């Protein structure tokens, strides 16, 4: 077995049946036994955005390979650490890097940390990601508040909720029309306005990757009203909402999606990391203030 992967979890599991309540609780208990902090907010840091976790004070840092039954992050820009501590005196848990289906993981495994967070006592999940701008009015560097998603990968048996359901996590048939909490979106927009930071708000789409989308796929998404597209986040948002946690998500537009068949341009991961690094300070400032506001 590849040494990057856990020796316990079945990586070929397609459904959530592998991740029983007891198994997930064992991971949560393992973490809580090693820290004094009881996090109320979880933050998932996307490509190039892991610097936010480095601002956490009085922190305990756990490499993913240290945590029983946790997968490994294998993507450039994802450090692969779980950081627990205080962000501006608010107890948080931060993922420095997430898991993607293109790394060979099922969506059930990619989203298993959301269930761990629920059993750690987390009430709100903040998701950040890098995305390609599809809306023609978007520019590279724009920050988009996600109000809804279109996730073709989740339309099939790759949905992370497929399998035996345990009501202690959430309902068998969860609603998905209000995943992204409106009050949280409004609060974040207010903070940005007070700081004179321009925001976008729109619909995000998640493809499985690792290849970027074809021109025809992007044109179809544009017709569906999608504003930005990436390779993550929607699956995590779905499971976090299913578990009863409030969900807020933002996408940093790190490149322009190519919708011209004759264009010589093409997206590349280095551009994603470069843009994320350039806008990291602004994102960190916004999220830190946001965490402080919603903690009361």
**Residues annotated as part of the active site:** 47, 78, 100, 102-103, 130, 231-232, 255, 269
Q: How far apart are the first and last CA of the chain?
A: 46
The answer to whether the annotation marks 98 as part of a ligand binding site is: yes
Known binder of ligand: residue 47? yes
Residue 266, annotated as binding a ligand:
no
- Residue 138 labelled as part of a binding site: no
Q: Is 149 annotated as a binding residue?
A: no
Q: Is 6 annotated as a binding residue?
A: no
Q: Is 8 annotated among the ligand-binding residues? A: no
Which residues are part of a known binding site for a purine D-ribonucleoside? 213, 255
Binding residues for phosphate: 47, 78, 98-100, 130, 232
Annotated binding residues, as ranges? 47, 78, 98-100, 130, 213, 232, 255
């Amino acid at each position: 077995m590849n040494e990057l992967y856990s020796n316990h979890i079945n990586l070929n599991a397609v459904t959530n049946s592998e991740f029983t309540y007891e198994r997930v609780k064992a991971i949560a208990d393992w973490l809580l036994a090693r820290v004094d902090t009881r996090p109320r907010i979880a933050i998932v840091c996307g490509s190039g955005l892991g610097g936010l976790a480095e601002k956490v004070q009085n922190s305990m840092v756990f490499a993913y390979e240290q945590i029983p039954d946790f997968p490994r992050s294998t993507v450039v820009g994802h450090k692969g650490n779980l950081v627990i501590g205080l962000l501006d005196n608010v107890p948080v848990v931060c993922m420095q890097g997430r898991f993607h289906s293109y790394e060979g993981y099922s969506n059930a495994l990619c989203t298993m940390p959301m269930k761990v967070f629920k059993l750690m006592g987390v009430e709100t999940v903040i998701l950040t990601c890098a995305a390609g701008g599809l809306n023609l009015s978007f520019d590279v560097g724009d920050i988009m508040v996600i109000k809804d998603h279109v996730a073709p990968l989740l339309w099939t048996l790759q949905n992370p909720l497929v399998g035996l359901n345990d009501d202690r996590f959430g309902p068998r048939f969860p609603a998905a029309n209000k995943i992204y909490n409106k009050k949280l979106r409004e609060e974040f927009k207010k903070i940005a306005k007070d700081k004179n930071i321009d925001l976008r708000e729109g619909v995000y789409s998640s493809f499985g990757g690792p290849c970027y989308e074809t021109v025809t796929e992007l044109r179809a998404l544009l017709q569906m009203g999608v504003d930005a597209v990436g390779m993550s986040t929607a699956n995590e948002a779905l499971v976090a909402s299913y578990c009863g946690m409030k969900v807020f998500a933002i996408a940093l537009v790190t490149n322009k999606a190519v919708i011209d068949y004759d264009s010589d341009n093409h997206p590349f991961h280095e551009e994603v990391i470069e843009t994320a690094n350039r806008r990291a300070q602004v994102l960190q400032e916004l999220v830190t203030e946001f965490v402080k506001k919603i903690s009361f």
